[in-house]
Structure 1
Amino acid sequence: MDRDSELFDLIGDLIMCHSPSGVEARIDAFLLQRLSELGIEAALDAAGNVVARIPGSGAGKLAITAHKDEIGASVSTVGDDGRLRLRALGSSFPWVYGEGIVDILGDNETIQGVLSFGSRHITRASPQYPQQETAPVKWSDVWVETKCSCDDIAKAGVRPGSRVLVARHRKAPYRLGDHIAGYTLDNKASVAVLIELAKRIRNPVSEICLVFSSMEEVGACGALYFTRNEPVDAIIALEIAPLSDEYDIVDGPDPVIYAQDGYGLYHEGLNGRIAAAAARAGVGLQRSVVHDFGSDASIVMRNGHAPRGACLAFPTQNTHGYEIARLAAIGNCVAVLDELCKGDLSQW
């Protein structure tokens, strides 16, 4: 099996682990088992981060994060007719998912329903009529049709706050030549990068903390907790890089580092170290400034929890939707970070 196929399969396994922000136990179990199989010490902290530690022989500590949570929706109200009204979980949009089966994660069991926008054969008398011509579909316009009684919904443990996601059978990724396509490449592909990196790092000079961070999509809660309680010399976030005409990013095998995003500047010196590591690894690197975007690293830096931060990303189409990314670009993130982790952080 070639490396791209192995990476595709790993990302697919991760995508199938539902992990909406704050309800991440399924992927936590997967990660703890996989890291244990690799012989790497890992544990859940109080904020729900899975933290893997690779001790160093010298000074310095580097945190590399990949958030394990995903966007979706949450239940706002349960109607007497069994319909669920929703609100956004993270920066999600209902039109991205379309009408179709969703999984509703109750406290006791997962039930299914249909994300519904209403009928099309209508006149201006129907409230959804503007969606066909002039208005975007918003969460306030849609509902989930469960065809369940209120008693059945209650028995499942579905309530306000229950998470709603695209059903698992709709989430399986698709191979498009040398690309992978599917929901939640942001950020399951980056989680795969951390796992692959964990296989490679051996006897680093500085301590490496691989942080599979929680609740990034709702404010980088996990990364902020980790860096508040455990000082690090630098933090690097693994992320997606949005392919759009407004950014100087191309769909190729070269990863991206950001100079700035919506939360502020990244550290120029750390970006230089990453660029040098990429050159040593024989990997090209793109540079960009993005706007409506933030990462664990930029949010941590903005809050003064780490002196240096950077974001390494892979070019991605349809971000926060049905995403498409080149497998080689994802794999090259592993190569760059592997080379970077060979250095002595105390000399940076």
Structure 2
Amino acid sequence: MQLWTHDRLFSTIEALVMQHSPSGMEAEINRYLLEQLAALGVEHWQDEADNIIVRIPGTRPDAAAGAVAITGHKDEIGGIVKAVGEVGRVSVRRLGGAFPWVYGEGVVDLLGDRETVSGILSFGSRHVSHESPQKLQQDGQAVRWEDAWVETKQSAAALTAAGIRPGTRMVVGKHRKQPLRMGDYIASYTLDNKASVAILLGLAEQVTAPPVDVYLVASAKEEVGAIGALFFSQRQRLSQLIALEICPLSAEYPIQPGPAPVLLSQDGYGLYDEGLNQALLAAADRANLPVQVATISGFGSDASIAMKFGHVAKAACLSFPTENTHGFEIAHLGAIASCLQLLVRYLKD
């Protein structure tokens, strides 16, 4: 068994980031995950809601009754095509919590039915007067999706032939998606939530013969309503659901950057289970891992949404501090590694 060093974590996250997976069009990352899990030789499958699931059977007689699920969503935010114009310009709207000013002008990929077309997310020229709509963006008004477009320099017929249509997904282009290593930090688009999927792969490799059944769920369509996790948790009897997530670094929250992960007590969807949180903190203490605790708003996870809708009795969210959330995110590899180590200890205990 390979040690999950910072180098290995970085390379695993890097490979996951480069697999496009906008909500509802996650086939590229699905193929990659299915290949990795087959190589590990663990029981796994893809369900009707497009979740990729690993089952690690428990050893106790009542192992199924006490089943625990760990989720990390595999979908990413981006855009969705609204209209295809006649001069190669494609109109897009947000998919999940995406803002055009976060991406800036640059290469994006349109995932057509038959071909991926790269174009430039464009806001218009700057050398203009009040006669041009772009002037407003220079004077304090944030650019909106309605003000932006994707310039493809292809005809409408060529775009149609590639399968670019209303509903086509747009994501940051692979041309500029490569993660950057900054010492012990990783900087990248879509750490939310490709880094958490890397933790799931680590768990699939390291957790064997737990007391209860463990389900590792790379969940689908989380960014548009935790759809995959709700489907799974409605059908599978669980005693606990723990979501792996990013945690936003902001002056309003008492969270420090660095190697200590964060356990949430509350988010925008409600309270997490205090008993489960205490059990996770006790596991962290046994493993000599520092953990921060926080309540945050403007945020939800597979776990809090599933608990709010009554799908699970106990839910928790274990996360790693992240700068620039839903943008070019920065996180400490040590915090991601600590999430993995904490859960390995908790599941074995």
Q: TM-score with structure 1 length normalisation? A: 0.97
Once residues 226 and 297 of structure 1 are traced to their aligned partners in structure 2, the CA distance between those partners, rounded to angstroms, is: 12
Which residue pairs with 1:261 in the alignment? 267
Which residue pairs with 1:5 in the alignment? 7
Once residues 142 and 136 of structure 1 are traced to their aligned partners in structure 2, the CA distance between those partners, rounded to angstroms, is: 11
Once residues 138 and 183 of structure 2 are traced to their aligned partners in structure 1, the CA distance between those partners, rounded to angstroms, is: 34
The amino acid of 1:335's aligned partner reads: Q
Moved more, 305-314 or 122-131: 122-131
Which residue pairs with 1:216 in the alignment? 222
Q: 1:133-163: per-residue Cα shift (whole Å, max 9, x none)? A: 2100111110001110111001100000101
Conserved 8 A contact 2:254-2:294: yes
Which residue pairs with 1:332 in the alignment? 338
Once residues 2 and 273 of structure 1 are traced to their aligned partners in structure 2, the CA distance between those partners, rounded to angstroms, is: 24
| 1:102 alignment partner, SS class | strand
The amino acid of 2:127's aligned partner reads: H
Once residues 227 and 50 of structure 2 are traced to their aligned partners in structure 1, the CA distance between those partners, rounded to angstroms, is: 9
The amino acid of 1:314's aligned partner reads: F
For 1:73-222, what aligned pairs fall within 5 Å after superposition?
73-222=79-228
Note if 1:65 corresponds to 2:64: no
> What is the deviation of 1:2?
7.8
Note if 1:246 corresponds to 2:248: no
| 2:311 alignment partner, SS class | coil
The amino acid of 1:134's aligned partner reads: G
| 2:279 alignment partner, SS class | helix
Q: 1:149 to 1:96 in 2, by over 3 A?
A: same
Structure 1 stretches of at least 4 aligned residues deviating more than 3 Å after TM superposition? none
Root mean square deviation, CA, Å: 0.9
Once residues 138 and 276 of structure 1 are traced to their aligned partners in structure 2, the CA distance between those partners, rounded to angstroms, is: 46
Which residue pairs with 1:306 in the alignment? 312
Q: Which of 209, 218, 234 pairs up with 1:228? A: 234
Q: 1:2 to 1:335 in 2, by over 3 A?
A: closer
Once residues 53 and 238 of structure 2 are traced to their aligned partners in structure 1, the CA distance between those partners, rounded to angstroms, is: 13
Once residues 7 and 233 of structure 2 are traced to their aligned partners in structure 1, the CA distance between those partners, rounded to angstroms, is: 34
Once residues 305 and 81 of structure 2 are traced to their aligned partners in structure 1, the CA distance between those partners, rounded to angstroms, is: 27
| 1:159 alignment partner, SS class | coil
Once residues 5 and 78 of structure 1 are traced to their aligned partners in structure 2, the CA distance between those partners, rounded to angstroms, is: 42
Which residue pairs with 2:282 in the alignment? 276
Conserved 8 A contact 2:4-2:337: no
Note if 1:237 corresponds to 2:239: no
| 2:313 alignment partner, SS class | coil
Moved more, 121-130 or 8-17: 121-130
| 1:165 alignment partner, SS class | strand
Q: 1:278-324: per-residue Cα shift (whole Å, max 9, x none)? A: 11111000000000000000000000000000000000000000000
Once residues 279 and 302 of structure 1 are traced to their aligned partners in structure 2, the CA distance between those partners, rounded to angstroms, is: 29
Moved more, 130-139 or 328-337: 130-139
Once residues 123 and 93 of structure 1 are traced to their aligned partners in structure 2, the CA distance between those partners, rounded to angstroms, is: 25
The amino acid of 1:329's aligned partner reads: A
Which residue pairs with 1:54 in the alignment? 56
Q: 1:250-284: per-residue Cα shift (whole Å, max 9, x none)? A: 00211000000000000000000110111111100
> How many pairs are equivalent?
343
Once residues 48 and 200 of structure 1 are traced to their aligned partners in structure 2, the CA distance between those partners, rounded to angstroms, is: 24
Once residues 222 and 157 of structure 1 are traced to their aligned partners in structure 2, the CA distance between those partners, rounded to angstroms, is: 26
Q: TM-score with structure 2 length normalisation? A: 0.97
Q: Which of 32, 35, 46 pairs up with 1:33? A: 35
Once residues 145 and 156 of structure 2 are traced to their aligned partners in structure 1, the CA distance between those partners, rounded to angstroms, is: 22
Conserved 8 A contact 2:72-2:219: yes
Q: 1:294 to 1:156 in 2, by over 3 A?
A: same
> What is the deviation of 1:204?
0.6
Identity among equivalent positions (%) equals 54
